[in-house]
Amino acid sequence: MRQTFPLIIALAATPAFAQEARQMDAHEHGTGRLNIAAEGNTVAMELHAPGADIVGFEYAPESDADQAKVAEAVEALEAPLDLFVLSEAAGCRVTETYAALELEGEDAHEDHEAHEEEHDHEEGHESHDHEEDHDDHEVHAAEAGHSEFHAEYSLTCENPSALTGIEFAYFAQFENALELEVQVVTASGAHAFEVTRDAPLLALEGLF
Ligand SMILES: [Zn+2]
Protein backbone atom coordinates (compact mmCIF):
# COMPACT_ATOMS: atom_id res chain seq x y z
CA MET A 1 0.00 0.00 0.00
CA ARG A 2 2.96 2.34 0.37
CA GLN A 3 4.46 4.27 -2.47
CA THR A 4 7.81 3.73 -0.82
CA PHE A 5 7.53 -0.03 -1.00
CA PRO A 6 10.79 -0.59 -2.94
CA LEU A 7 12.58 1.56 -0.36
CA ILE A 8 11.12 -0.51 2.44
CA ILE A 9 12.33 -3.68 0.79
CA ALA A 10 15.82 -2.16 0.69
CA LEU A 11 15.62 -1.10 4.32
CA ALA A 12 14.51 -4.56 5.34
CA ALA A 13 17.94 -5.82 4.34
CA THR A 14 19.68 -3.48 6.77
CA PRO A 15 20.09 -4.24 10.47
CA ALA A 16 16.82 -3.80 12.30
CA PHE A 17 18.19 -1.28 14.74
CA ALA A 18 19.50 1.03 12.06
CA GLN A 19 16.20 0.88 10.27
CA GLU A 20 14.18 1.77 13.33
CA ALA A 21 16.54 4.54 14.39
CA ARG A 22 16.41 6.07 10.96
CA GLN A 23 12.63 6.16 10.91
CA MET A 24 12.32 7.78 14.31
CA ASP A 25 15.17 10.25 13.88
CA ALA A 26 13.41 11.38 10.76
CA HIS A 27 10.19 12.26 12.46
CA GLU A 28 9.29 15.83 13.24
CA HIS A 29 7.35 16.48 16.39
CA GLY A 30 3.89 17.72 15.52
CA THR A 31 3.79 15.90 12.20
CA GLY A 32 2.46 12.40 11.63
CA ARG A 33 2.00 10.32 8.52
CA LEU A 34 -1.19 8.72 7.33
CA ASN A 35 -1.25 6.39 4.34
CA ILE A 36 -4.54 5.40 2.79
CA ALA A 37 -4.86 2.79 0.08
CA ALA A 38 -8.08 1.72 -1.55
CA GLU A 39 -8.75 -1.28 -3.73
CA GLY A 40 -12.28 -2.28 -4.54
CA ASN A 41 -14.31 -2.14 -1.35
CA THR A 42 -11.27 -2.35 0.90
CA VAL A 43 -9.59 0.69 2.36
CA ALA A 44 -6.37 0.23 4.30
CA MET A 45 -4.99 2.97 6.52
CA GLU A 46 -1.69 3.22 8.34
CA LEU A 47 -0.73 5.91 10.83
CA HIS A 48 2.69 6.78 12.25
CA ALA A 49 2.72 9.63 14.76
CA PRO A 50 5.44 10.83 17.14
CA GLY A 51 4.84 9.98 20.79
CA ALA A 52 5.14 13.72 21.40
CA ASP A 53 2.02 14.27 19.30
CA ILE A 54 -0.09 11.56 20.88
CA VAL A 55 0.85 11.54 24.58
CA GLY A 56 3.25 14.48 24.90
CA PHE A 57 6.36 12.43 25.73
CA GLU A 58 8.63 9.92 24.02
CA TYR A 59 10.40 8.19 26.88
CA ALA A 60 9.41 4.68 27.85
CA PRO A 61 6.31 5.00 30.03
CA GLU A 62 7.10 3.95 33.58
CA SER A 63 4.82 5.74 36.00
CA ASP A 64 1.23 4.63 36.35
CA ALA A 65 0.16 7.97 34.95
CA ASP A 66 2.35 7.57 31.85
CA GLN A 67 1.17 4.04 31.28
CA ALA A 68 -2.44 5.09 31.67
CA LYS A 69 -1.91 7.84 29.14
CA VAL A 70 -0.42 5.40 26.63
CA ALA A 71 -3.24 2.90 27.20
CA GLU A 72 -5.80 5.64 26.69
CA ALA A 73 -4.07 6.74 23.49
CA VAL A 74 -3.93 3.20 22.13
CA GLU A 75 -7.62 2.79 22.86
CA ALA A 76 -8.37 6.02 20.99
CA LEU A 77 -6.19 4.88 18.09
CA GLU A 78 -8.10 1.62 17.93
CA ALA A 79 -11.22 3.53 16.87
CA PRO A 80 -10.13 4.98 13.52
CA LEU A 81 -13.57 6.15 12.45
CA ASP A 82 -13.69 8.45 15.49
CA LEU A 83 -10.37 10.00 14.46
CA PHE A 84 -10.74 10.00 10.69
CA VAL A 85 -14.40 10.64 10.03
CA LEU A 86 -15.19 9.32 6.57
CA SER A 87 -18.14 10.36 4.43
CA GLU A 88 -21.10 8.56 5.91
CA ALA A 89 -22.51 7.65 2.49
CA ALA A 90 -19.46 5.48 1.82
CA GLY A 91 -20.72 3.05 4.44
CA CYS A 92 -17.29 2.15 5.81
CA ARG A 93 -16.79 -0.13 8.76
CA VAL A 94 -13.64 -1.31 10.46
CA THR A 95 -12.68 -4.94 9.92
CA GLU A 96 -9.22 -4.93 11.46
CA THR A 97 -7.39 -2.59 13.77
CA TYR A 98 -3.98 -2.48 15.41
CA ALA A 99 -2.36 0.26 17.47
CA ALA A 100 0.75 0.32 19.64
CA LEU A 101 3.52 2.49 20.98
CA GLU A 102 6.93 1.71 19.47
CA LEU A 103 10.04 2.86 21.30
CA GLU A 104 13.32 3.70 19.60
CA GLY A 105 15.82 0.89 20.01
CA GLU A 106 13.27 -1.55 21.29
CA ASP A 107 13.36 -3.55 18.10
CA ALA A 108 17.03 -4.44 18.38
CA HIS A 109 16.27 -8.03 19.13
CA GLU A 110 15.93 -10.99 16.89
CA ASP A 111 12.15 -11.12 16.77
CA HIS A 112 12.15 -7.85 14.93
CA GLU A 113 12.97 -9.17 11.48
CA ALA A 114 10.07 -11.55 11.44
CA HIS A 115 7.84 -8.75 12.61
CA GLU A 116 8.95 -6.43 9.85
CA GLU A 117 8.53 -9.04 7.17
CA GLU A 118 5.02 -9.64 8.30
CA HIS A 119 4.35 -5.98 8.73
CA ASP A 120 5.62 -4.83 5.36
CA HIS A 121 3.82 -7.48 3.44
CA GLU A 122 0.98 -5.78 1.65
CA GLU A 123 -1.70 -8.17 2.71
CA GLY A 124 -2.42 -10.91 5.12
CA HIS A 125 -0.89 -9.56 8.28
CA GLU A 126 -2.87 -10.41 11.34
CA SER A 127 -3.22 -8.44 14.48
CA HIS A 128 -2.10 -11.27 16.72
CA ASP A 129 1.38 -11.16 15.17
CA HIS A 130 1.65 -7.56 16.27
CA GLU A 131 0.31 -8.35 19.71
CA GLU A 132 2.99 -10.94 20.34
CA ASP A 133 5.71 -8.56 19.27
CA HIS A 134 4.23 -5.78 21.30
CA ASP A 135 4.62 -7.80 24.48
CA ASP A 136 8.25 -8.38 23.57
CA HIS A 137 8.74 -4.70 22.96
CA GLU A 138 7.78 -3.79 26.48
CA VAL A 139 10.47 -6.07 27.85
CA HIS A 140 13.14 -4.61 25.58
CA ALA A 141 12.02 -1.00 25.89
CA ALA A 142 14.68 1.65 25.49
CA GLU A 143 15.33 4.10 28.29
CA ALA A 144 15.26 7.20 26.12
CA GLY A 145 14.99 8.41 22.55
CA HIS A 146 12.10 8.90 20.22
CA SER A 147 8.94 6.91 20.15
CA GLU A 148 6.10 6.62 17.71
CA PHE A 149 2.59 5.37 17.79
CA HIS A 150 1.83 3.05 14.93
CA ALA A 151 -1.64 2.03 13.87
CA GLU A 152 -3.02 0.00 11.00
CA TYR A 153 -6.60 -0.32 9.93
CA SER A 154 -8.55 -2.26 7.39
CA LEU A 155 -11.98 -1.04 6.41
CA THR A 156 -14.72 -2.31 4.16
CA CYS A 157 -16.78 0.34 2.40
CA GLU A 158 -20.11 -0.45 0.78
CA ASN A 159 -19.85 2.49 -1.58
CA PRO A 160 -16.25 3.68 -1.82
CA SER A 161 -17.01 6.15 -4.59
CA ALA A 162 -19.03 8.10 -2.02
CA LEU A 163 -15.90 8.60 0.05
CA THR A 164 -15.47 12.26 -0.82
CA GLY A 165 -13.90 13.59 2.33
CA ILE A 166 -12.29 12.96 5.69
CA GLU A 167 -12.74 15.08 8.77
CA PHE A 168 -9.72 14.82 11.05
CA ALA A 169 -11.12 14.64 14.57
CA TYR A 170 -7.62 13.29 15.22
CA PHE A 171 -6.47 16.84 15.98
CA ALA A 172 -9.17 17.36 18.58
CA GLN A 173 -8.27 14.06 20.22
CA PHE A 174 -4.51 14.66 20.27
CA GLU A 175 -3.80 18.26 21.24
CA ASN A 176 -0.07 18.20 20.38
CA ALA A 177 -0.62 16.95 16.84
CA LEU A 178 -0.27 19.77 14.33
CA GLU A 179 -0.12 18.14 10.92
CA LEU A 180 -0.57 14.88 9.06
CA GLU A 181 1.14 14.12 5.80
CA VAL A 182 -1.46 12.08 4.00
CA GLN A 183 -0.84 9.83 1.04
CA VAL A 184 -3.82 8.39 -0.76
CA VAL A 185 -3.33 5.60 -3.26
CA THR A 186 -6.32 4.54 -5.31
CA ALA A 187 -6.97 3.23 -8.81
CA SER A 188 -6.69 6.87 -9.92
CA GLY A 189 -3.08 7.05 -8.74
CA ALA A 190 -1.14 8.39 -5.78
CA HIS A 191 -1.99 11.70 -4.19
CA ALA A 192 -0.22 13.57 -1.41
CA PHE A 193 -1.81 16.05 0.97
CA GLU A 194 -0.97 17.96 4.11
CA VAL A 195 -3.80 18.20 6.60
CA THR A 196 -3.31 20.60 9.49
CA ARG A 197 -4.91 21.34 12.82
CA ASP A 198 -6.12 24.65 11.41
CA ALA A 199 -7.74 23.03 8.37
CA PRO A 200 -8.66 19.51 9.45
CA LEU A 201 -10.66 18.57 6.37
CA LEU A 202 -9.47 16.61 3.37
CA ALA A 203 -11.51 16.65 0.17
CA LEU A 204 -11.24 13.48 -1.87
CA GLU A 205 -13.85 13.98 -4.57
CA GLY A 206 -13.23 11.76 -7.53
CA LEU A 207 -10.29 9.86 -6.06
CA PHE A 208 -12.13 6.73 -4.98
ZN1 LIG B 1 10.62 12.21 18.54
The domain in which residue 179 lies consists of 5-203
Per-residue pLDDT of the chain (208 residues; tens, 9 = 90+): 444 444 333 333 334 444 444 556 679 999 999 999 999 999 999 999 999 999 999 999 999 999 999 999 999 999 999 999 999 999 999 999 999 999 986 654 434 444 444 444 444 444 444 444 444 444 344 445 899 999 999 999 999 999 999 999 999 999 999 999 999 999 989 999 999 999 999 999 989 8
- The verdict on residue 161 lying in a domain is yes
- The verdict on residue 208 lying in a domain is no
**67 CA to centre of ligand 1 in angstroms:** 18
* pLDDT value of residue 26: 75
* pLDDT value of residue 106: 60
**136 CA to centre of ligand 1 in angstroms:** 21
- The verdict on residue 145 lying in a domain is yes
**92 CA to centre of ligand 1 in angstroms:** 32
Specify the number of domains making up the chain.
Answer: 1
**49 CA to centre of ligand 1 in angstroms:** 9
* pLDDT value of residue 6: 42
- The verdict on residue 151 lying in a domain is yes
Q: Residue 98 and residue 86: Cα distance in Å, rounded? A: 19
**Is residue 164 within 8 Å of residue 205, measured between CB atoms?**
yes
Angle at Cα 118 formed by Cα 93 and Cα 114, nearest 5°? 150
3-state secondary structure labels for all residues of 1-24? CCCCHHHHHHHHCCCHHHHHHHHH
